[in-house]
Amino acid sequence: MKNREEFIRQYESEKPMYHAWGTYVKDAVIDQMRSRFSDLDKVIKIPVNVRVKATDSIVEKAFYRKSAKYNDPIKEITDKVGIRFVLMLREQIEQVAYIVENSDKWTWSKDVDFMHDQETKPELFEYQSVHYIVRNEKEFQYEDIVIAKNTPCEIQIRTLEQHAYAELSHDYIYKKQGNIEPLIKRYLARSMALNEAADELFGEVHKMIESENVKYTNFTKAFCNLYPFQDYTDKINEDIFENLFEFVTKYNISENDVKKFINAKGNTILMKIGNRQDKILFKQPMVLLIYYLAKEHGRELLEKWYLPENELDMVYSDLGDTYRLD
């Protein structure tokens, strides 16, 4: 085993290599994430930074920690450089993990897997994260720096809730040498249970939002096939849909229901829409949904209408109906 001074000299000389390797790994993962996620800002919640372990920190780990049992710490310590992906949802962890495991740029091994721990120890609520160690199989040069074969880089993948718990607990529980008070452990376990519940709820909310987004897209495409709404404003169109979404769910309305209704009217409604392209409401594909609701749920629509009523009056007039709140 090298003495401490030799270890420090070697580690300091290799730091640029570790940073280069971490940067290469980070860029490779993010590049693949861009092809998998449409908006990375909605996935990565904290900037991904390359972290090379500070010299005093790695010296403490190699020589002074009670649990340290290294014959050659410069080779055996695997977290000399690391990157962390803090994501919004647990399901996104699985997608990033897939990217790590299926890259041809490195070999990988799992260091920590909280999903596996949940299956094998379901009664415990502890530090959660997915950790990988990735290594390059061949020496190569990156940014004018030679990356030695088999250089390790740690990849951590966790949700924002898991990150909050880790920031509070990891340094204290993992690194402290003495016994931890039972009450502190209990409080930490309770907080982890709350974090886990929040993660699950966030996941359910996300599924509901995505379901609404899918419906919005399907409705808009179907309506644009009926009439060429070339100048519609996506934000306004989406806002109308969001405000009418309770009708869609309450009465289980599909885009096909609206299409059948419009087609049954022949070209009458579409001609009216074409003649009113100077009015914002009639430029939006969701105006077809408004026609359908005015016919099928006219009084309820009027009660919950949030836009100027004069435009809605035109819709009712086109249908020959005169619903009013007197």
Which pLDDT tens digit goes with each residue over 131-151? 999 999 999 999 899 999 999
pLDDT value, residue 193: 67
State whether 150 and 213 are in the same domain.
Answer: no
State whether 212 and 162 are in the same domain.
Answer: no
pLDDT value, residue 174: 53
Question: Which run of H or E residues covers position 293?
Answer: helix 287-296
State whether 16 and 162 are in the same domain.
Answer: yes
Residue 193 lies in a domain: no
Q: Which tops the pLDDT comparison, 48 or 159? A: 48
pLDDT above 60 for 13: yes
SS3 85: strand
Residue 116 lies in a domain: yes
pLDDT above 50 for 325: no
| Rounded Cα gap, residues 230 and 169, in angstroms | 54
List the structure tokens of 256: 């096909």
State whether 229 and 97 are in the same domain.
Answer: no
pLDDT value, residue 120: 43
State whether 159 and 212 are in the same domain.
Answer: no
pLDDT value, residue 117: 45
In the listed set 140, 160, 178, which residue is the last one of a domain according to the structure? 178
Residue 135 lies in a domain: yes
- Please name the residue that has the structure tokens 């199989």: 137
State whether 127 and 230 are in the same domain.
Answer: no
State whether 22 and 171 are in the same domain.
Answer: yes
Residue 258 lies in a domain: yes
For CA atoms 88, 89, 95, 101, the dihedral sign is positive
Residue 16 lies in a domain: yes
> Is the whole model's pTM more than 0.75, yes or no?
no
For the chain, give the longest Cα–Cα distance. Answer: 93
Q: List, in order, residues 6 or more apart from 213 with CB less than 8 Å away.
A: none
Least-confidence region, from 39-43, 114-118, 142-146: 114-118
Residue 186 lies in a domain: no
Find the domain containing 223 and state its range. Answer: 205-319
SS3 200: helix
State whether 22 and 135 are in the same domain.
Answer: yes
State whether 141 and 64 are in the same domain.
Answer: yes
Q: Which tops the pLDDT comparison, 253 or 206? A: 253
Residue 20 lies in a domain: yes
Domain count of the chain?
A: 2
In the listed set 143, 178, 213, which residue is the last one of a domain according to the structure? 178
pLDDT in tens, 15-25: 999 999 999 99
